[in-house]
Amino acid sequence: MKVLSVVGNRPQFVKSAPLSVALRDHGIEEIVLHTGQHYDPELSQVFFDELGLPEPRYRLDLHTAEPAPMRAGIRSAIAAESPDTVLVFGDTNSTLAGALAANDTGVPQAHVEAGLRSGDLEMPEERNRIEVDRMAAILFAPDEHAGQTLAAEGVPGRREVVGDVMLDATLRLAPVAKRRSHVLDALGLEPRAYVATTVHREANAVPERLERILAGLSRVDDPVVFPIHPRTRKTLDDAGLEVPPNVRLLRPLGYLDFTALASQARVIATDSGGLQKEAYWHGVPCVTLRDTTEWTETVRARANILVGHDPTAIAGAVSSARMPDERPELYGDGQASERIAEVLVTLRP
């Protein structure tokens, strides 16, 4: 059996790592296609190097987030390889392009992380999730809630609740990160004595919102460490926004260094969906710089608070954030990749 895995951004590289191992263990041939949606070396090649992912057979190197050129390139790869299944991950434009290309060519598409909804249709990621799920032949949901969402929407694909492949990666790689990374020493940081921040969502990478987020972070007593996404850096520079004295901007970090930084923070403040989950698994309270989240269980568990871009709310939430004494196991048991591979094996021609 042959699958074509479409990846294009940081979370997709991470999610695909444990799944690549499981596919190989089950005798499934995997061909990796990198769309080039993240083309900064610190946000792409570093993951292949650090995580030991199979080198992509196809690199589109498009340096764009537009789905149309990615769709055409993926369609060409499908024609050349004749895979049995196209695997797409998450909710990015690379995800949508892979799903559309599979649909164009009549190859079944499997969506890893299906059924997530934030309820915010202004987010392009939300629209991507809905469209991809409607086209998927197999929907790999991270939990029962996501599976129920798919059932309620009446999507035609086969639903499988498997857990979250990101948890698989976190359980395997977080201990490695702590052993191998020296990022805290290099930055002069003490564990649990700083705030780790990321901002990359399209809605926040605009001058008005970014300025308000920085204003909120400026009121935090802790040092704030901010590995800055290229899109956010461009907004910051183009608008001439002032960075508060307690906020330390860094270049994007490799996965192991970033994981070591995030897992030992006192608080994580982010607009990333994946990092909300990782914070929960690391036992670090999360402040989400959005008004909605697809990971609602972390909010119900009181481990995550939504603050949007209000400076006062950001400062207050970061200052008071604490993990609850007891928290439920969320998003599986670390065996999602194995379950996905087992399902795919049943489709062997």
The catalytic site residues sit at: 200
Q: How far apart are CA 1 and CA 338, in angstroms?
A: 16
Residue 248 token pair: 């330390």
CA distance 232 to 331: 29
Q: With CA atoms as reference, report the closest residue to 180 among 91, 67, 52.
A: 52
Using DSSP bridges, classify how beta strands 158-161 and 286-288 pair: parallel, antiparallel or unpaired: unpaired
Distance CA 84, CA 274 (A): 28
Q: For the range 244-247, what are the long-range contacts, defined as Cβ-Cβ under 8 Å and sequence gap of 24 or more?
A: 244/214, 244/215, 244/217, 244/218, 245/218, 246/217, 246/218, 246/220, 246/221, 246/222, 247/197, 247/214, 247/217, 247/218
Matching residue, tokens 């003490």: 190
Give strand pairing partners of 235. none
What is the phi-psi region of residue 188: left when phi exceeds 0, alpha when psi lies from -120 to 50, beta otherwise? Answer: left
* Burial state string for 72-106 with b = 16 or more CB within 10 A and e = fewer than 16: ebbbebbeebebbbbbbbbbbbbbbbbbbbbbebe
- Phi, psi at 155, each rounded to 5°: -65, 145
Short-list 41, 80, 124, CA closest to 13 = 41
Which DSSP string corresponds to 180-200? H--HHHHHT--TTSSEEEE--
Distance of alpha carbon 259 from alpha carbon 321, whole angstroms: 20
